[in-house]
A and B are shown apart, each in its own frame.
Chain A
Amino acid sequence: MAMGYSDKVMEHFAHPHNVGIIEDANGVGEVGNAKCGDIMKMYLKIEDGVIQDAKFQTFGCASAIATSSIATDLIKGQPIDEALKLTNQAVVEALDGLPAVKVHCSVLAEQAIKAAVANYYERLGQPCDVSKCAACEGGCCGHDHGAEEE
């Protein structure tokens, strides 16, 4: 398969789920950096502590698009606390693996969810201890966290 991607990655890349924006999202997070070649923007609609809907926009390689797709699938319908437990390893496993050089893309998905949840709490004016960059590998990157800049 192309670039050593699994069939699952290619399936989510070719036909990504949950692409787009949520007009009335109440949690929005953007991570990554165009200079590094990947940016992920996550939109969440949260009601009663549960993620009712999740959508994304991603600029990046096939693995960035596939991880965005599967990560939004995985958190839809989940309580916030559960969604925050989604690790990049879980994302990689759900995609039947990623090539080693692409693992940082799965970290980006985890970070995008955390950034969107943090933004949700900020909007509520509630203190938030969601670590936005707990697992950030830096890479190219030393990821600028777009949500923080805005």
Chain B
Amino acid sequence: MFVYADNAATTAMSPAALEAMTTALRDVYGNPSSLHQKGQEAADALAEARATMAKYLGAQPREIYFTGCGTEADNWAIRFAAHEGAAKGKRHLISTPIEHHAVLHTLAVLEKEGFEVTYLPVYDNGVVRPEDLEAAIRPDTALVTVMYANNEIGSIQPISQIGEICHKHGVLFHTDAVQAAGHLPINVVEQHIDMLSLSGHKFHAPKGVGALYCRKGIPLKPFIEGGAQERGKRAGTEALPSIIAMSVAFREACEHMEENARKVGAMRDRLIEGLSKIPYSRLTGDPVNRLPGMVSFCFEGIEGESLLLRLDLAGICASSGSACTSGSLDPSHVLLAIGLPHEIAHGSLRLSLCEYNTEEQVDYMLEQVPQVVRTLREMSPVWAHMMETRENPYKD
């Protein structure tokens, strides 16, 4: 059996998005900046895509800027807000230690430029507490940037409350909603969101296209200079086929959000329940407030890369936050930030589902994962060490 369970990394394109994209690639080849009919056809398609994105975010079309990816949107929003703040003498930023690197590395650059960043605690469930934010805001705070939902452990942040606190204090609020968009309800007005980043390929659109929502009235400045595309804010000929495909995929995801969440959530819960029976395993992230498709665990006594590759040999595509899989020497910053020791964080596994997964695949994973964990434990000196003082659950 083949199981693709790495949808937090990227998703397969939806048939409707693929169809829209191929049609656009073939037929809608005009440049939206051209005045002739072929250009106007493209400009109309671009406007329609923008209106669709806006509609499902609760925004206005003029507040949507298409980008090359979620990372670009994050870089753009954060650097803009920081520099805008600095012009008014505000050089303090607030974030969390579990953000995506698109945010964390941008913040690190700003710290080198002299900005000060407060990283809010996220506790063992990976969730920010509004009172900590309230206490961290200062008169010189230029921006609060907190992700909507985490890409490794699935914890969902109290975005509305965070937005409300920011606005009470007159601080700009940006959220990296790359994992949330298309999966969780978003309304930028009701949730007091000033800027929001999203990426198409996390909801069955192609790779290489994302968007930044920036509330009207915020004097957004360009990050990429050049032509007058995107109302002069983001130069470069629009990737129209990708943008169209993203809007189609986004509409599809938002219109079927409840139904998908119910289906995917049920599979997630069954997997979590089954994998929790593996001895010395622990669910990572918030047990309740988590992304519908996110199953994330740590298994003591084994290392994540070997777990991942053994599952791959069994046909299951998964992910891990171990050092070996990240190519660095430390395990995932997210797992360390929620207080897991290195030894345990090395044994992490992420299975991220979508509506294309099936109950049969869940059955197969429930059969394979415990077996692979056991096989690796049986050759692990760390496990052997643990079993010197505890009862071995695998003793037949």
Contact = CB atoms under 8 A, between A and B. Distances in A.
Interface of A: 2-3, 10, 13-14, 16, 19-21, 30, 34-41, 56-62, 64-65, 101-102, 139-141
B98 to A, nearest CB: 20
Contacts of A40: 381
Contacts of B289: none
Interface of B: 301-303, 305-306, 309-310, 312-313, 322-325, 327, 329-331, 341-343, 346, 378-384
13 contacts: A2-B312, A3-B305, A10-B309, A13-B309, A19-B379, A30-B381, A36-B323, A57-B384, A59-B302, A61-B305, A64-B303, A64-B306, A140-B323
A121 B118 CA distance: 55
A101 B383 CA distance: 25
Contacts of B325: 61
Given A37-B324, A57-B379, A59-B381, A14 B303 contact: no
A89 B378 CA distance: 28
A36 B305 contact: no
A34 B329 CA distance: 12
Contacts, number: 79
B303 A60 contact: yes
B324 A61 contact: yes
Contact of B343 (A34, A56, A57): A34
Contact of B309 (A3, A21, A30): A3
A38 B380 CA distance: 10
B382 to A, nearest CB: 4
Nearest to B384: A57
B309 A58 contact: no
Given A34-B343, A59-B301, A139-B329, A41 B381 contact: yes
B379 A37 contact: no
Contacts of B323: 36-37, 140
Contacts of B306: 13, 60-62, 64-65
Contacts of A3: 305, 309
A119 to B, nearest CB: 14
Contacts of A62: 305-306, 309
Contacts of A58: 379-381
B376 to A, nearest CB: 8
B385 to A, nearest CB: 9
A58 B376 CA distance: 9
Contacts of B309: 2-3, 10, 13, 62
Contacts of B322: 37, 61
Nearest to A140: B329
B313 to A, nearest CB: 6
A81 to B, nearest CB: 27
Give the top 7 A-B pairs by smallest Cβ distance, nearest first: A61-B324, A61-B305, A140-B329, A41-B381, A57-B381, A34-B343, A59-B382
A109 to B, nearest CB: 14
B329 A39 contact: no
